[in-house]
């Protein structure tokens, strides 16, 4: 979500039933990807209040304020709530999430985020939000073995933590070069939360790395359609879709895919180069 993303027992985790806040989260995500952040915020806020440790809902809520260029409002609000609740571990972990967002803009605040997560985990060893938060901090620092350990710990407590699954899958896919294991995690994400575009994008990415190009097309199309403005992974999905078509020797479809990517990010040199290559390629006879 926040942009830049051997498993053992965690690979066996099943995501059986959606959480209570799923309807609000999905509705909020729809507004978020339409850039209707004022509509998204109350829906996502309700999702967080229904499931205070829903890390993905919390991330979308914070990112909505970020996109509005109004970080101060949400950080101050969460600070005030944390103070009013005293030593409540979940409130501490939510404050850690708020400081994590602020730390993306002001790097020195990132350590404050880590402190809040550690305090929350110390007060409640079953606070999955705290472990996912620590994993996110170390993921941001590119300290992947440590990040992986915290994500696995979070998932042992809460197998529905989509953010932990997402980031753990990213480590498996990008850093560990284990697309088969990453695919298992991302497939579970899209089965539970089919409106989450990044899940579909990483399913397509894992299939691409496994050279299963034909299978990668549909999840990449889905990711692109769910995030047409490229707010999170929509641009990457559009570009990788073009690469898939190139691997399948279907240059006309590749050109169309690269044109969509170009509309999202007109200054992308990579897309321009790949489009020119597609224009000089000959399709299958």
- pLDDT tens-digit readout, 56-102: 999 999 999 999 999 999 999 999 999 998 889 999 999 999 999 99
Give the mean pLDDT of 246-259: 96
In the prediction, which pLDDT does 4 show? Answer: 37
Give CA–CA dist 4/266, Å, rounded: 20
Give CA–CA dist 252/232, Å, rounded: 26
Give CA–CA dist 73/262, Å, rounded: 34
pLDDT at 2 over 50: no
pTM: 0.88
Residue 54 and residue 48 in contact, taking contact as beta carbons nearer than 8 Å: yes
In the prediction, which pLDDT does 165 show? Answer: 96
Give CA–CA dist 144/42, Å, rounded: 34
pLDDT digits (tens, 9 = 90+) for 17-54: 445 568 899 999 999 999 999 999 999 999 999 999 99
pLDDT digits (tens, 9 = 90+) for 89-143: 999 999 999 999 998 888 888 999 999 999 999 999 999 999 999 999 999 999 9
């Amino acid at each position: 979500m926040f942009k830049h993303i051997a498993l053992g027992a965690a690979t066996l985790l099943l995501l059986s039933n959606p959480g209570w806040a799923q309807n609000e989260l999905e509705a909020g995500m729809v507004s978020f990807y339409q850039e209707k952040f004022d509509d998204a915020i109350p829906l996502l806020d309700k999702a967080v209040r229904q499931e205070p440790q829903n890390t993905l809902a919390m991330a979308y809520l914070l990112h909505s304020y970020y996109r509005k260029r109004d970080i101060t409002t949400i950080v101050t609000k969460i600070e005030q709530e944390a103070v009013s609740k005293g030593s409540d571990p979940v409130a501490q972990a939510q404050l850690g999430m708020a400081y994590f967002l602020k730390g993306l803009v002001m790097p020195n605040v990132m350590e404050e985020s880590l402190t809040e997560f550690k305090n929350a985990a110390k007060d409640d060893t079953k606070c999955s939000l705290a472990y996912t938060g620590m994993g996110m901090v170390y993921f941001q620092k590119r300290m992947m073995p440590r990040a992986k350990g915290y994500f696995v710990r979070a998932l042992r407590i809460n197998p529905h933590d989509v953010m932990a699954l997402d980031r753990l899958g990213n480590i498996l896919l990008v850093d560990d070069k284990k697309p088969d294991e990453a695919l298992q995690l991302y497939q579970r994400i899209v089965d539970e939360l089919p409106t989450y575009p990044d899940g579909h994008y990483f399913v397509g990415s894992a299939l691409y790395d496994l050279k299963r190009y034909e299978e990668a097309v549909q999840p990449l199309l889905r990711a692109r359609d769910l995030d047409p403005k490229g707010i999170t992974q929509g641009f990457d999905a559009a570009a990788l879709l073009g690469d898939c078509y190139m691997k399948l020797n279907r240059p006309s479809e590749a050109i169309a895919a690269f044109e969509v990517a170009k509309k999202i990010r007109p200054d992308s040199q990579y897309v321009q180069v790949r489009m020119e290559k597609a224009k000089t390629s000959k399709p299958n006879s």
